[in-house]
């Protein structure tokens, strides 16, 4: 294929090129969507440290699954759904490991890590810490929907595609999750 400014191409064209073996096209897809992927993984898992490994594994799965992309969703939301699924699987594994360790070693389960707010959230340090602590106390589904909507800045439709639920479910989960978050933050004051 002739050299092209990949930044000028849309995602669907990059997928076609990546399917045909163009590594730089796949690299451009990663570059475009890595920040959102890291945010989604961090919010779902509650750990920015684990997010890098999760995103790396998810992008390997995306590369392997390029032929499964059918265009019914945007490339971005398809990739972020793979990331979200990888993060959820990671949490399940972490919970299993914690329970196994608890059973075998008699250890108490540790509290989950506090979630670091996204780079784009402009709040002072105290608010940042309070928000991170409150987010870490939410269930994974609540963190996932809030992470997609407000951290990764996805639309309701994109969030629905990423999480594999209906738009109506996204709306109701967002409302309930925000109410739970508000309640936790008010209780902490």
Q: Is residue 88 a part of any domain in this protein?
A: yes
Q: Report the distance separating Cα 178 and Cα 142, nearest Å.
A: 8
The CATH number of whichever domain residue 160 belongs to comes to 1.10.1740.10
Q: Is residue 34 a part of any domain in this protein?
A: yes
| In contact, 87 and 41? CB cutoff 8 Å | yes
Q: Is residue 1 a part of any domain in this protein?
A: no
Dihedrals phi, psi of 139, to nearest 5 degrees: -70, 160
pLDDT for 129: 67
Sign of the CA dihedral running 103, 107, 108, 110: negative
Q: Residue with structure tokens 């191409």?
A: 9
Q: Is residue 110 a part of any domain in this protein?
A: yes
Q: Report the distance separating Cα 34 and Cα 46, nearest Å.
A: 17
Q: Report the distance separating Cα 60 and Cα 95, nearest Å.
A: 23
pLDDT for 117: 34
Q: Report the distance separating Cα 77 and Cα 179, nearest Å.
A: 26
Among 25, 148, 139, 17, smallest CA distance to 81 is for: 148
Q: Is residue 91 a part of any domain in this protein?
A: yes
pLDDT for 158: 86
* Host H or E run for residue 146: helix 140-146
Q: Is residue 150 a part of any domain in this protein?
A: yes
Q: Is residue 59 a part of any domain in this protein?
A: yes
pLDDT for 120: 33
Q: Report the distance separating Cα 129 and Cα 146, nearest Å.
A: 17
User: Count of domains in the chain?
Assistant: 1
Q: What is the dihedral of CA 73, 79, 82, 86, to 10 degrees?
A: -150
Structure tokens at 74: 């945007």
pLDDT for 23: 93
pLDDT for 113: 33
pLDDT for 107: 34
> CB-based contacts of 69: which residues, under 8 Å, 6+ apart?
15, 75, 78
* Residue ranges, the chain, pLDDT below 50: 1-2, 99-124
DSSP code of 154? Answer: -
Give the tens place of pLDDT for each residue, 51-83: 999 999 999 999 999 999 988 888 999 999 899
> How far is CA 2 from each of CA 6, 8, 22, 54, 157, rounded to the nearest angstrom?
11, 14, 11, 33, 35
pLDDT for 16: 94
Q: Is residue 3 a part of any domain in this protein?
A: no
Among 60, 58, 35, 38, smallest CA distance to 48 is for: 38
Taking the complete model, does pTM exceed 0.75, yes or no? Answer: no
| Domain hosting residue 123, numbered range | 8-188
């Amino acid at each position: 294929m002739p050299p092209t400014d990949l930044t000028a191409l849309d995602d669907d064209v990059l997928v076609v090129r990546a399917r045909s073996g163009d590594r730089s096209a796949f690299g451009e897809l990663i570059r475009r969507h890595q920040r959102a992927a890291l945010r989604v993984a961090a919010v779902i898992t509650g750990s920015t440290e684990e997010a890098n490994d999760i995103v790396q594994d998810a992008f390997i799965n995306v590369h392997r699954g390029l032929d499964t992309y059918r265009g019914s969703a945007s490339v971005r939301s398809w990739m972020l759904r793979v990331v979200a699924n990888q993060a959820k699987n990671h949490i399940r594994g972490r919970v299993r490991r914690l329970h196994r360790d608890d059973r075998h070693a008699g250890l108490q389960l540790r509290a989950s890590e506090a979630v670091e707010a996204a780079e784009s959230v402009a709040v002072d340090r105290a608010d940042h810490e309070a928000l991170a602590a409150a987010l870490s106390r939410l269930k994974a589904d609540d963190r996932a929907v809030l992470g997609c909507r407000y951290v990764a800045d996805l639309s309701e439709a994109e969030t629905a595609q990423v999480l594999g639920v209906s738009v109506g479910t996204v709306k109701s989960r967002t409302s309930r999750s925000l109410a739970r978050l508000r309640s936790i933050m008010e209780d902490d004051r």
